[in-house]
Amino acid sequence: MSILTDISENLQRGKAKIVKELVQQAIDEGIPANQILEEGLLGGMNVVGEKFKANEIFVPEVLVAARAMNMGTTLLKPLLAQSGVKATGKVCIGTVKGDLHDIGKNLVRMMMEGKGLEVVDLGVDVSPEQFIDAAKNQGCQIICCSALLTTTMGVMSEVVEAAKTAGIRESVKIMVGGAPVTEAFCQQVGADCYTADAASAAEAAVKLLA
């Protein structure tokens, strides 16, 4: 069994300590960090998602898998974040109100930090008002919204409207992403930028700030 399959299977079983050890071993063997992330960790998390959907596993199992995923990504962080480009700029990021999924949001934060951006992490369950407060009071040039639920992605539209009401829409860019979000949805709610994955989000943020 390849080490990446091993990482995927142990993540599915929620074996956080073993996942951490295997990720370190994979790094030591010279496997590129993005391959460990995509084929090992995210590969495992996709299987977890499918089983969750099919009611073969439930919230507690998904939570332990998520914990294992976070242990693995913590080790990958310095490697994923390595980048020659140093940008300057400040963004705030959060998972929208009603939504507690934070693994994708954390990856986006990590990639943006790797591009030299200062990132204010507002956490999960973030209201439109909290996004606007951060942009206004902490001088963030970009608001980044993540959503994983079809029931919460609509909050992104409220963020855009709240920025207009607060009179900051012209001075702040709004980026959206997360599994159910699409380019069409981004345009529909009047946000500035949609990207499908964390690495593209970081690249897009740098371009928006240029």
Which parts of this chain interact with ligand B1M (CB under 6 A)?
A: 42, 45-46, 48-49, 52-53, 59, 62-63, 66, 98-105, 107-108, 144-146, 148-151, 175-180, 195, 197-198, 201
Between 14 and 104, CB nearer to ligand B1M? 104
For residue 2, give the amino acid letter.
S
CB of 108 to ligand B1M, least distance (A): 5
CB of 129 to ligand B1M, least distance (A): 18
For 152, phi and psi rounded to 5 degrees? Answer: -110, -15
What burial letters (b/e) apply to 180-200, b meaning 16+ CB within 10 Å?
ebeeebbeebebbbbbeebbe
Between 107 and 206, CB nearer to ligand B1M? 107
Between 10 and 195, CB nearer to ligand B1M? 195
Query: Rounded to whole angstroms, how far apart are CA atoms 29 and 48?
Result: 26
CB of 46 to ligand B1M, least distance (A): 5
Query: Rounded to whole angstroms, how far apart are CA atoms 121 and 181?
Result: 20
Query: Rounded to whole angstroms, how far apart are CA atoms 137 and 142?
Result: 13
Between 24 and 200, CB nearer to ligand B1M? 200
CB of 204 to ligand B1M, least distance (A): 8
CB of 102 to ligand B1M, least distance (A): 4
Check residue 38 and report its DSSP letter. Answer: I
Between 31 and 202, CB nearer to ligand B1M? 202
Q: Residue 47: is it exposed, middle or buried by C-beta count within 10 angstroms (0-12/13-18/19+)?
A: middle
